[in-house]
């Protein structure tokens, strides 16, 4: 299918150009640095003792022993430290001002990339846990939710667009099971109210997008010989779904039960859709062989379970079973608490199922990078890759490991020795002391409640 | 590929995790001798190569040169370490099965003042959560009701037994109180600061009124008990009756309190009433007022440790460091997860506290002997000593390190199978039959 052009494009390009002239220049920053003498956990090429890593303009240019720093390049002494690739969190809801467009079972036209919030201190707190890339997702209220955004933790920038990882593949949220059936079926008396309805909603949307695409293809074919040909009405929602069908967008599907995951793979086969990463996938272990056979990947919790009925039949050995059966697996946070210690969450795969160090580290680096289509750029320490690192005072899979420095594009964005207590970018001058937020457990389970209205949740928590 | 998988599986079984060859379906008692072990007693140092003997419910001998009883089942623990069972000082284990299903939840009764509601009554000994928790070395937990100002009566339970009575440890129960909150209840709480203040004042008044009534009730009750023939029998007021042992100092009051201002207020509240059998729980902002808590001499059940700071302006690691900062100030610190289905992460909460200042030794104490002392059951549990209940676990390494595996587990002298829903699903599905049908 050819890309359709908006008639306003030339005009809008002009305005975009104008914006660039007016906005204060806050260009993409990259750094030069030599990380010296660390134990380098490359993830893809083993562990290198006493090794230096040279970074120029935000890219790894050299890995070896006894490298010297070119003039003007800052040196970080990493002797006695462990250097690993920056952690990639494949499921996050930080740094956005909205999570759900819960007004319809299908909202492919919206994007959380439009509501990025660079001031969110959660970006920094995750950095302090070694996270450099997050996949910021739409919520799970809708069967086909909004588009997601892959961002880098460039905490300190204030222009939202500078958080974006430019060139990262487009992704979109799907959601199966309890959440969309509760919100739409039971909440608004709109299909789906059951897992049958969920399948129907997807098939219907895909079929409508196919028809839409055919109509445009007919028009494109006709317009050259018939100048009076009338284009079909433009539909932003079906545009996006067409792109899914053309494998231009990676589906990121919130899912728990084995049956619903099998269902979606069947639907995708019928429509020729190949790129899918299942999110949560608590029952992925039951159908690990089918996932591997399809080429689907799985981004899971290390050990969350029993917080709702569809995760009651879970096992913390999920990662081990998936990995042993050949599924590209990652461990994600879905939480502003958990994303601060994903290195520990990955280590749980050693406790539950005895994964090797490299396998465990892959769960939070190269594997999530593969699932987001950015593994050529991040997720391991290799020459040519982007200079994202997490530096620890011990092996990151040890419970006693404390992150020391986190580097994004060659720039130190977290330093345990240099950062003051208050790392907010924009404190409220009218409020000297903020009211304490006493985090409840519900806050940590974002997928459970992300679709709830704020007031409902307060009632829920306080029992009113 | 199949050959490789078989090899991996075989290796897994040979390494003996998660269940070794001694795995059985049923817990059993007897005489067990755990030999050649590194025994971390917690209260009397470490025995590098020793033997520990369990008979029935008790530890009957331990040391470097212990005779193994003739009838003992010998478990060779070469290369392994023995620790006292870990104690989580604040959970809802057995009270909540599935987080989103009201039908499976018994942690909360109607009303704000329900101290007479007993957690022990509603604990489900067959909760799927219990085996999942204990196979990580957690043998004992405080399970507590929640909601309102006086949610009910908490209990100390072992994570094995078929009746609540069998699970109950040292008859320990405590009345719980949620001190009125001047903080936000979470990121969804968008009340104005003024409204928060108003709500808290209202709640405090309600609590104080109830407490004053209970104090009066206790006086009437005492007068009647002294002269039952001549006095008038007090009316039946279940909430007041439940508070009697607390007012008389016979039963502890566990006060959940988190915001700094609330902690200070709670200290005043306790001191005004001259109460000396009080325990604080939560204490998310305890580090801000650590000296005051220490001065008040109130022991603390701190956690969850794996938690975000309460204010955006706080340093990112304040929740990790909280237990350490309180300990340094002189507060008696035990650790709690505040969890239900993931109480199994208690060793990791302790490990993070250790890494962020508390140190391994003190962190271990905070999940063993310190809570046992706080709950007045240190003669029963909390360390490896002769005469104590055989609550212990055997590991292949540091109990807080994530990769460490539990090899054997004893609760109240019962040798517990290292099995749970999670291990069973693992064994069923690691190499599923039938495989791929296509």
Homologous superfamily of domain range B2-85+402-429: Urease, subunit C, domain 1 (2.30.40.10)
Please give the C-alpha separations between residue B145 and each of B118, B153, B164, B240, B242, in angstroms, as whole numbers.
8, 7, 15, 18, 14
Backbone φ and ψ of B77, nearest 5°: -110, 35
Optimal mutation site among A437, A452, A457, interface B, most CBs of chain B within 10 A: A437
| Rounded Cα distance, A138 and B93, in Å | 33
Q: Could you say which DSSP state residue A181 is in?
A: I
**Contact across the interface for A402 and B356, Cβ inside 8 Å:** yes
Evaluate whether A365 touches A379 at the Cβ level (below 8 Å).
Answer: yes
Residue B15 touches chain A, beta carbons under 8 Å: yes
Please report, for residues A340, A420, A429, B91, B280, the alpha-carbon distance to residue A408 in angstroms, rounded to integers and kept in the order given: 16, 19, 30, 39, 42
- Token readout for B132 is 């999942």
Question: How far apart are the CA of B280 and the nearest CA of chain A, in angstroms?
Answer: 16
* Partner residues linked to B141 by β-bridges: B88, B157
Residue A35 φ then ψ, to 5°: -95, 115
Helix/strand/coil for A261 = helix
Strand partners, A59: A56, A386
**DSSP classification of residue A281:** -
B34-92 pLDDT, tens per residue? 999 999 999 999 999 999 999 999 999 999 999 999 999 999 999 999 999 999 999 99
- How close does chain B come to A62, measured CA to CA in Å? 33
- The C-alpha of A167 sits at a distance from chain B's nearest C-alpha, in angstroms, of 31
Tell me the nearest-neighbour CA distance from A178 into chain B, angstroms.
Answer: 11
Residue in A closest to B100 by C-alpha = A308
d(CA B1, CA A387): 36
Tell me if B80 sits within 8 A of B113, measured CB to CB: no
B148 Cβ under 8 Å from any chain A Cβ:
yes
- Whether the Cβ atoms of residue B383 and residue B368 lie closer than 8 Å to each other: yes
Compare CB distances from A347 to B398, B402, B438 and report the shortest one's residue: B402
Pairing of strands B152-158, B138-143: antiparallel
Enumerate the residues of chain B whose CB falls inside 8 A of the CB of residue A399.
347-348, 351-352, 354-355, 398, 400-402
Nearest to B285 among A436, A448, A457 (CB): A436
Distance CA B66, CA B55 (A): 14
- Which CATH class, in words, describes the domain spanning B86-381? alpha beta
Residue B389 bridge partners (DSSP):
B58
The chain A residue lying nearest B339, using CA atoms, is A441
Contact A443 B188 (CB under 8 A): yes
The pLDDT confidence band at residue B1, using thresholds 50, 70 and 90, is very low
3-state secondary structure string across chain B: CHHHHHHHHHHHHHCCCCCCCCCCCCCECCEEEEEEEEEECCCCCEEEEEEEEEECCEEEEEECCCCCCCCCEEEECCCCEEEECEEEEEECCCCECCCCCHHHECCCCCCCECCCCEHHHHCCCCCCHHHHHHCCCEEEEEECCCCCCECEEEEEEECCCCCHHHHEEEEEEEEEEECCCCCECCCCCCCCHHHHHHHHHHHHHHHHHHHHHHHHHHHHHHHHHHCCCCCCCCCCCHHHHHHHHHHCCCCCEEEEECCHHHHHHHHHHHHHCCCCCEEEEECCCHHHHHHHHHHHCCCEEECCCCCCCCCCCCCCCHHHHHHHHHHHHCCCEEECCCCCCCHHHHHHHHHHHHHHHHCHHHHHHHCCHHHHHHCCCCCCCCCCCCCCECCEEEECCCCCCCCCCEEEEEECCEECCCCCHHHHHHHHHCCCCCCCCC
The per-residue DSSP string of A347-396 comes to HHHHHTT---HHHHHHTTTHHHHHHHT-TTTSSS--TTSB--EEEESS-T
Residue A43: strand, helix, or coil: coil
Structure confidence at residue B438 as a pLDDT band (50, 70, 90): low
Predicted local confidence at residue B184, as pLDDT: 86
- Return the structure tokens found at A228: 């009076």
Please check whether residue B12 touches A, CB under 8 A. yes
A261-305 confidence digits (pLDDT tens): 999 999 999 999 999 999 999 999 999 999 999 999 999 999 999
What tens digit of pLDDT does each residue of B235-290 get? 999 999 999 999 999 999 999 999 999 999 999 999 999 999 999 999 999 999 99
| Mutation to test the A interface, candidates B5, B10, B189, B407, most A Cβ within 10 Å | B189
* CA–CA separation, B389 and B85 (whole Å): 10
Q: Mean per-residue pLDDT for B9-38?
A: 69
Question: What is the greatest pairwise CA distance in chain A?
Answer: 73
CA–CA separation, B102 and B109 (whole Å): 12
The H or E element spanning position A122 is: helix A122-127
Q: Thinking of the domain A87-376, which architecture would CATH place it in?
A: Alpha-Beta Barrel (3.20)
Task: Give A430's pLDDT tier (boundaries 50, 70, 90).
Answer: confident
Question: Binning pLDDT at 50, 70 and 90, where does residue A198 land?
Answer: very high
8 A C-beta contact, residue B404 and residue B80: no
Give A299 or A438, the one with higher predicted confidence: A299
Question: Which among A271, A275, A274, A278 is positioned nearest to A253, based on CA atoms?
Answer: A278
Residue A427: the pLDDT is 83
Distance separating alpha carbons of residues B32 and B54, to the nearest angstrom:
5
Taking the domains of chain A in order of start, what are their residue ranges?
Answer: 29-86+379-419, 87-376
A351/B405 Cβ within 8 A: yes
Average pLDDT over residues A305-321: 97
Nearest-5° angle of CA B39, CA B43, CA B46? 30
Band of residue B13 on the pLDDT scale cut at 50, 70, 90: very low
CA distance, residue A157 to nearest chain B CA (Å): 18
Mutation for testing the B interface, residue in A351, A356, A358, A431 having most B CBs under 10 Å: A351
Q: How far apart (Å, rounded) are the C-alpha atoms in residues A387 and A382?
A: 9
pLDDT score, position B45? 97
To the nearest whole Å, the CA of B386 is away from the closest chain A CA by 31
Among residues A113, A120, A158, A102, which one has the least CA distance to residue A136? A113
Q: Over 50: is that where the pLDDT of A423 sits?
A: yes
Burial (CB < 10 A; 0-12, 13-18, 19+), residue B125, is: middle
Query: What does the pLDDT average to over A161-180?
Result: 97
The DSSP secondary structure of A185-204, one letter per residue, reads: IIHHS-S-SSHHHHHHHHHH
Q: What superfamily in CATH does domain A29-86+379-419 come from?
A: Urease, subunit C, domain 1 (2.30.40.10)
Q: Are A378 and A390 in contact (CB under 8 A)?
A: no
Q: Say what the pLDDT of residue A435 is.
A: 80
Closest residue in chain A to residue B315, using alpha carbons only: A421
Give the mean pLDDT of B370-397.
98
* Rg of chain B on CA atoms, in Å: 23
Q: How confident is the model at residue B385 (pLDDT cuts 50, 70, 90)?
A: very high
How does DSSP assign A337-349, residue by residue?
A: TGGG-HHHHHHHH
Neighbours of A327 (CB within 10 A): 27
- For A399, nearest residue in chain B (alpha carbons): B401
Nearest by CB to residue A438, choosing from B284, B306, B352, is B284
What's chain B's average pLDDT? 94
Nearest to A236 by CA among A274, A209, A268, A199: A209
Inter-chain CB proximity A128 and B316 less than 8 Å: yes
Q: What's the average model confidence in pLDDT over A297-320? A: 97
Residue A389, both tokens: 């690192």
Spatial CA neighbour of B36 closest among B72, B68, B69, B2: B68
Place of tokens 């982007």: A386
pLDDT-wise least confident of A8-17, A227-236, B162-171, B387-396: A8-17
From-to residues of CATH 2.30.40.10 in chain B: 2-85+402-429
Question: Which one has a higher pLDDT value, A156 or B16?
Answer: A156
pLDDT of res. A391: 98
- Which three-class secondary structure state does DSSP give residue A228? coil
- B187 CB near a chain A CB, below 8 Å? yes
Interface residue B299 vs chain A (CB under 8 A): no
Task: Give the model's pLDDT for residue A286.
Answer: 98
- Rounded to the nearest angstrom, the minimum Cα separation between A154 and chain B is 17
Of A314, A421, A437, the CB nearest to B186: A437
- Asked whether the beta carbons of residue A445 and residue B308 sit closer than 8 angstroms, the reply is no
Task: Write out pLDDT tens, residues B404-434.
Answer: 999 999 999 999 999 999 999 999 999 999 9
Check CB contact under 8 Å for B186 and A438. yes
Average pLDDT over residues B165-177: 98
Contacts of B193 in chain A (CB under 8 A): 435
* Exposure string over B146-185, b if 16+ CB within 10 A, otherwise e: bbbbbbbbbbbbbbbbeebeebbbbebbbbbbbbbbbbbb
**Taking CB atoms and an 8 Å cutoff, what residues of chain A touch B425?**
285, 313-315, 317
| Residue B37, token pair as written in the block | 């072990």
**Alpha-carbon span B415 to A95, nearest angstrom:** 49
**Cα–Cα distance for residue pair B423/A354, rounded to 1 Å:** 13
Interchain CB distance below 8 Å, A400 and B129: no
The SS3 assignment for A85 reads: strand
Q: Residue A26 has what pLDDT? A: 61
Distance, CA of B141 to CA of B237 (rounded, Å): 30
Q: What is the mean pLDDT of residues A401-415?
A: 98
* A462 has pLDDT over 50: no
Band of the pLDDT at B232, cuts 50, 70, 90?
Answer: confident
Mean pLDDT along residues A44-66:
98
| Mutation for testing the A interface, residue in B144, B150, B316 having most A CBs under 10 Å | B316
What is the rounded average pLDDT of the residues A65-91?
97
0.90 exceeded by pTM: yes
Q: With bands split at pLDDT 50, 70 and 90, how would you rate the model's confidence at B188?
A: confident
pLDDT in the model for residue A450: 44
Please tell me if residue B310 touches chain A, with a CB cutoff of 8 Å: yes
Q: Give contacts of A448 with chain B, Cβ < 8 Å.
A: 99-100
pLDDT on residue B21 = 43
Q: Tell which of B354, B395, B426 to mutate to test the A interface (max A CBs under 10 Å).
A: B426
Substitution target in A306, A336, A398 with the highest count of B β-carbons within 10 Å is A306
Instruction: Give the integer Cα–Cα distance in Å for A351 and A426.
Output: 41
Per-residue confidence at B10, pLDDT binned at 50, 70, 90?
very low
pLDDT of residue B139: 98
Per-residue pLDDT reduced to its tens digit, A248-260: 999 999 999 999 9
- Per the CB < 8 A criterion, the answer to whether B99 and B56 are in contact is no
Judge: A293–B438 Cβ closer than 8 Å, yes or no: yes
The interface predicted TM-score (ipTM) is: 0.93
If you average pLDDT over every residue of chain A, what do you get?
Answer: 91
Interface A–B counts its CB contacts (< 8 A) at: 205
Mutate to test the interface with A, among B1, B105, B188, B352 (most CBs of A within 10 A): B188
Question: How close, in Å, is residue B315 to chain A by CA atoms?
Answer: 4
What is the DSSP-derived secondary structure letter of residue A103?
T
**Residue A22 pLDDT greater than 60, yes or no:** no
pLDDT > 70 in chain A, percent: 88
Q: Residue A446 pLDDT > 60, yes or no?
A: no
Task: Judge residue A317's burial from the number of C-beta atoms within 10 Å of its C-beta, 0-12 exposed, 13-18 middle, 19 or more buried.
Answer: buried
Give the closest residue to B401 by CA, choosing from B368, B367, B354, B369.
B354
Which residues 208-247 of B have a C-beta within 8 angstroms of A? none
Distance CA A34, CA A55 (A): 6
Q: Where in chain B is the domain with CATH 3.20.20.140?
A: 86-381
Q: From the CA of B28, how many Å to the nearest CA of chain A?
A: 25
What three-state secondary structure class fits A121?
A: coil
* Contact: A458, B310; criterion CB under 8 Å: no
Quick check: A344 and B189 CB within 8 A? no
pLDDT of residue A438 exceeding 90:
no
Per-residue pLDDT reduced to its tens digit, A355-393 = 999 999 999 999 999 999 999 999 999 999 999 999 999
Query: Is the pLDDT reported for residue A448 higher than 70?
Result: no
């Amino acid at each position: 299918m050819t890309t359709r052009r908006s008639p306003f494009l030339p005009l809008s390009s002009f305005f975009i150009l104008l914006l660039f002239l007016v906005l204060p220049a806050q260009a993409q920053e990259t750094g030069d640095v030599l990380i010296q003498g660390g134990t380098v956990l490359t993830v893809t090429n083993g562990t290198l003792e006493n090794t230096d890593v040279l970074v120029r303009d935000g890219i790894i240019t050299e890995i070896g022993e006894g490298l010297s720093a070119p003039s003007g390049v800052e040196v970080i002494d990493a002797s006695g430290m462990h250097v690993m690739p920056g952690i990639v969190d494949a499921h996050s809801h930080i740094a956005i001002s909205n999570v759900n467009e819960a007004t319809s079972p299908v909202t492919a036209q919206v994007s959380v990339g439009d509501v990025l919030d660079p001031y969110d201190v959660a970006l920094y707190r995750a950095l302090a846990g070694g996270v450099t890339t997050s996949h910021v997702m739409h919520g799970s209220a809708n069967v086909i939710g909004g588009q997601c955004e892959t961002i880098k933790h460039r905490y300190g920038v204030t222009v939202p667009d500078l958080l974006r990882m430019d060139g990262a593949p487009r992704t979109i949220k799907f959601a199966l099971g309890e959440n969309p059936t509760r919100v739409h079926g039971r909440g608004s008396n709109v299909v789906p109210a059951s897992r049958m309805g969920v399948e129907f909603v997807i098939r219907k949307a895909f079929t409508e997008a196919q028809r839409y695409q055919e109509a445009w293809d007919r028009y494109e074919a006709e317009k050259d010989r018939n100048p009076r040909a009338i284009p079909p009405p433009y539909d932003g929602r079906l545009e996006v779904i067409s792109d899914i069908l053309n494998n231009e967008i990676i589906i990121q599907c919130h899912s728990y039960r084995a049956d619903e995951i099998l269902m979606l793979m069947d639907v995708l086969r019928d429509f020729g859709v190949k790129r899918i990463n299942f999110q949560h996938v608590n029952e992925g272990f039951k159908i690990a062989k089918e996932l591997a056979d399809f080429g689907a990947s799985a981004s899971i919790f290390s050990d969350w379970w029993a917080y709702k009925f569809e995760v009651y039949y879970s096992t913390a050995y999920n990662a081990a079973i998936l990995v042993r059966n050949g599924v590209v697996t990652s461990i994600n946070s879905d939480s502003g608490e958990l994303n601060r210690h994903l290195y520990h969450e990955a280590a749980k795969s050693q406790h539950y199922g005895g994964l090797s160090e490299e396998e465990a580290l892959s769960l939070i680096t190269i594997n999530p990078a593969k699932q987001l289509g950015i593994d050529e750029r991040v997720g391991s320490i290799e020459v040519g890759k982007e200079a994202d690192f997490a530096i620890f005072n011990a092996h990151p899979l040890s419970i006693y490991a404390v992150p020391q420095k986190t580097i994004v594009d060659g720039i130190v964005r977290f330093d345990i020795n240099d950062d003051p207590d208050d790392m907010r970018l924009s404190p409220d001058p009218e409020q000297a002391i903020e009211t304490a937020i006493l985090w409840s457990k519900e806050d940590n389970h974002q997928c459970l409640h992300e679709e709830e209205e704020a007031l409902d949740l307060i009632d829920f928590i306080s029992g009113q | 590929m199949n050959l490789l998988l078989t090899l991996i599986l075989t290796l897994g079984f040979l390494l003996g995790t998660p269940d070794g060859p001694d795995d059985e379906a049923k817990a059993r008692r007897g005489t067990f001798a755990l030999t050649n072990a590194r025994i971390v007693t917690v209260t009397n140092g470490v025995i590098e190569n020793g033997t520990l003997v369990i008979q029935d419910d008790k530890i009957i001998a331990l040391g470097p040169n212990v005779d193994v009883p003739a009838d003992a089942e010998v478990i060779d623990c070469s290369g392994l370490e023995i620790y006292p069972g870990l104690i989580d000082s604040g959970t809802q284990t057995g009270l909540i099965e599935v987080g989103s299903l009201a039908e499976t939840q018994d942690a909360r009764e109607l009303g704000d003042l329900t101290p007479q509601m007993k957690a022990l009554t509603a604990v489900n000994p067959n909760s799927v959560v219990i085996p999942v928790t204990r196979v990580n070395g957690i043998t004992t937990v405080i399970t507590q009701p929640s909601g309102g100002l006086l949610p009910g009566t908490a209990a100390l339970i072992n994570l094995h037994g078929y009746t609540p009575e069998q699970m109950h440890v040292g008859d320990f129960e405590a009345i719980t109180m949620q001190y009125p909150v001047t903080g936000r209840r979470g990121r969804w709480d968008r009340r104005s600061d003024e409204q928060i203040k108003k709500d808290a004042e209202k709640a405090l008044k309600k609590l104080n009124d109830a407490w004053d009534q209970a104090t009066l009730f206790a006086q009437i009750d005492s007068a009647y008990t002294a002269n039952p023939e001549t006095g008038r029998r007090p009316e039946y007021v279940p909430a007041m009756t439940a508070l009697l042992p607390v007012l008389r100092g016979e039963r502890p009051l566990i006060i959940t309190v988190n915001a700094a201002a609330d902690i200070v207020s709670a200290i005043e509240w306790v001191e005004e009433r001259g109460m000396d059998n009080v325990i604080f729980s939560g204490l998310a902002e305890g580090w801000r007022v650590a000296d005051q808590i220490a001065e008040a001499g109130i022991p603390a059940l701190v956690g969850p440790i794996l938690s975000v700071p309460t204010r955006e302006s706080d340093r990112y690691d304040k929740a990790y460091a909280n237990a350490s900062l309180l300990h340094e100030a002189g507060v008696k610190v035990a650790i709690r997860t505040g969890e239900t289905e993931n109480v199994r992460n208690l060793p990791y909460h302790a490990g993070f506290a250790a890494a962020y200042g508390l140190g391994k030794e003190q962190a271990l104490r905070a999940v063993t002997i310190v809570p046992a002392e706080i709950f007045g059951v240190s003669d029963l549990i909390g360390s490896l000593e002769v005469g104590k209940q055989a609550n212990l676990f055997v590991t292949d390494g540091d109990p807080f390190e994530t990769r460490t595996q539990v090899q054997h587990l004893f609760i109240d002298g019962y040798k517990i199978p290292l099995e749970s829903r999670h291990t069973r699903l693992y064994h069923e599905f690691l190499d599923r039959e039938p495989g791929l049908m296509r």
